[in-house]
C-alpha cells in the first residue's frame, strides 16, 4: 500500500515548479491557465488567495497571508497569467502551494514548491549570520573610468566584468562595516570611450548574482526627427522602466502594466513593453540629444543611453545666412569709408577757408568786382 502511495505522489512532486524566494522580499509564484472563472491558491489546507466573479474574494483567506498577496493586473489574468505575488516573505512561507483554475468546461491544477533563502537575519536560537545577497548595484561612467559599487552584502562578494570593447579586469576594493556586511567598489579603466559601448558588472555571493549594465547606443532614424531604439527588457521577469531626458518622460511597471507618460510627451512617445522598443517623433531641435533608459528586475539593472543626432540648419538656410553676413559686412565697410571721406573733405574745406592765400585771393576778387561795377 505504501509503495503504491509513493508511486502516485512521486510524479506530482517531480512535476512541481520550484521557486526560491528571498526572506523579507516579495516573490512570484507562477501559474497559467485558460480557465479563468475561478482561481484559488492553497498551501496545505490554508486558503492563500481566491478570485472569482471578476474580483478578489478574501473573506476566507488565512491570517498568515492577509495583506500580503495579490494577483496580477486584469489584463494579465485575461491573458492566462494567474501567478500569485506574496510580499514580505517569511521562513514559514516555505512549502508546497497549489494553483487551481477552472471554468464551466474544464479545470487545471498546478503545484509550486517554495523555498526561502534567508537574507541578512539573525535567528534567535543560533545567532548565525545568513547570506545577504546584493539587492542593487550602482554603475556609472566618470571620465575614463566605469565605477561599480554595491553595499550591505554578505559574505564577501566576487566581482566579474564583461565589456565591449574589451578592457582589463580591475582589482576590487572591499570594506567591512560594524555589522559584518561588505561594501565593494570596482573601477574599470577605459582606454578609449567609443560612440557605442557596453559594460557589465556582476556581484556574486553564494548562489545569487546581481548584474548592472551600462550601455551607449545609437538610435535608428526612421525619418526627419523620428527615431526608434530599444531598452533591454525581459518577458520572463517583472521589470520597471524609466525613460528620461533632463526630466522623466516615461514610467512603466510590467507587474501592474501601469504606464505613465508626461503630458508634454504624450504625442511624441510610443512604447512597446513586450520588447522594450521606444519610438520618438515630432521632436524639435531642443529635444535632440542623449536619452537615458533604466530597466530593473530583481537581479538586473540596465542603464542605456541613446544619442539622437542634433541637426544643423538646411543648406539653403545656411547659404542665405552666409550671403546676409557678407552683405552686412560690405555695407558696414562702405558706410565707414563714406564717413571717413566726408570727414576728410570737411577738414580740407575748413583748412582752405582759413588759409592766408585764400583770404588774399578773395580780397583781389572783391576789388575786381568793384572795378567792373564802375
Residues 240 and 180 in one domain: no
Number of other residues whose CB lies within 10 A of the CB of residue 316 = 8
Which pLDDT score is estimated for 6?
Answer: 35
Instruction: Give the model confidence (pLDDT) of 227-248 as tens digits.
Output: 999 998 877 678 999 999 999 9
pLDDT > 90? residue 93: yes
Residue 221 neighbours by CB under 8 Å, 6+ apart: 227, 309
Any domain includes 323: no
Compare 124 and 100 and report the one with higher pLDDT: 100
pLDDT > 60? residue 8: no
Any domain includes 336: no
Any domain includes 351: no
Q: Assign residue 81 the CATH number of its domain.
A: 2.60.40.10
Give the residue from 117, 138, 154 where a domain finishes: 117
Q: How much of the chain is in helix, strand and coil states, percent to nearest 5?
A: 25, 40, 35
Report pTM: 0.55
Instruction: Give the model confidence (pLDDT) of 321-367 as tens digits.
Output: 566 677 778 778 777 666 666 666 566 656 655 555 545 545 554 55
Any domain includes 360: no
Give the residue from 194, 215, 236 where a domain finishes: 215
Number of domains in the chain: 3
pLDDT > 60? residue 107: yes
| Owning domain of residue 141 | 124-215
Number of other residues whose CB lies within 10 A of the CB of residue 271 = 17
Q: How far is CA 268 from CA 11, 216, 219, 227, 228, in A?
A: 53, 22, 15, 10, 11
Instruction: Give the model confidence (pLDDT) of 134-187 as tens digits.
Output: 888 999 999 889 999 999 888 888 999 988 888 888 889 999 887 778 999 999
- Burial readout 223-235 (b: 16 or more C-beta within 10 A, e: otherwise): eebebbbbbbbee
Amino acid at each position: 500500500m505504501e509503495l503504491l502511495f509513493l508511486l502516485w505522489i512521486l510524479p506530482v512532486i517531480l512535476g512541481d515548479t520550484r521557486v526560491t524566494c528571498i526572506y523579507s522580499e516579495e516573490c512570484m509564484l507562477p501559474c497559467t491557465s485558460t480557465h479563468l472563472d475561478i482561481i484559488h491558491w492553497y498551501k496545505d489546507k490554508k486558503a492563500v488567495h481566491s478570485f472569482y466573479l471578476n474580483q478578489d474574494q478574501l473573506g476566507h483567506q488565512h491570517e498568515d497571508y492577509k495583506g500580503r498577496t495579490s494577483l496580477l493586473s486584469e489584463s494579465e489574468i485575461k491573458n492566462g497569467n494567474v501567478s500569485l505575488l506574496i510580499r514580505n516573505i517569511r521562513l514559514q512561507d516555505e512549502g508546497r502551494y497549489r494553483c487551481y483554475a477552472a471554468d464551466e468546461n474544464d479545470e487545471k491544477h498546478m503545484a509550486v514548491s517554495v523555498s526561502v533563502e534567508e537574507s541578512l537575519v539573525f535567528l534567535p536560537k543560533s545567532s548565525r549570520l545568513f547570506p545577504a545577497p546584493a539587492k542593487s548595484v550602482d554603475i556609472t561612467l566618470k571620465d575614463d573610468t566605469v565605477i561599480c559599487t554595491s553595499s550591505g552584502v554578505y559574505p564577501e562578494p566576487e566581482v566579474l566584468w564583461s565589456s565591449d570593447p574589451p578592457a582589463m579586469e580591475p582589482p576590487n576594493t572591499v570594506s567591512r562595516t560594524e555589522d559584518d556586511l561588505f561594501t565593494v567598489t570596482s573601477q574599470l579603466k577605459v582606454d578609449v570611450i567609443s560612440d557605442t559601448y557596453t559594460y557589465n558588472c556582476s556581484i556574486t555571493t553564494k548562489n545569487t548574482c546581481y548584474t548592472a549594465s551600462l550601455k551607449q547606443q545609437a538610435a535608428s532614424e526612421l525619418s526627419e526627427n523620428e527615431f526608434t531604439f530599444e531598452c533591454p527588457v525581459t518577458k520572463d521577469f517583472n521589470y520597471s522602466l524609466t525613460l528620461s531626458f533632463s526630466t522623466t518622460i516615461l514610467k512603466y511597471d510590467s507587474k501592474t502594466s501601469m504606464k505613465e507618460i508626461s503630458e508634454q510627451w504624450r504625442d511624441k512617445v510610443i512604447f512597446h513593453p513586450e520588447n522594450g522598443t521606444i519610438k520618438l517623433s515630432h521632436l524639435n531641435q531642443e529635444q535632440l540629444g542623449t536619452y537615458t533608459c533604466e530597466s530593473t528586475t530583481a537581479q538586473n539593472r540596465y542603464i542605456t543611453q541613446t544619442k539622437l543626432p542634433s541637426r544643423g540648419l538646411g543648406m539653403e538656410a545656411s547659404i542665405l545666412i552666409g550671403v546676409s553676413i557678407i552683405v552686412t559686412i560690405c555695407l558696414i565697410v562702405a558706410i565707414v569709408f563714406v564717413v571717413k571721406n566726408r570727414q576728410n573733405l570737411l577738414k580740407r574745406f575748413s583748412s582752405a577757408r582759413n588759409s592766408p592765400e585764400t583770404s588774399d585771393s578773395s580780397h583781389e576778387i572783391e576789388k575786381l568786382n568793384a572795378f567792373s561795377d564802375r
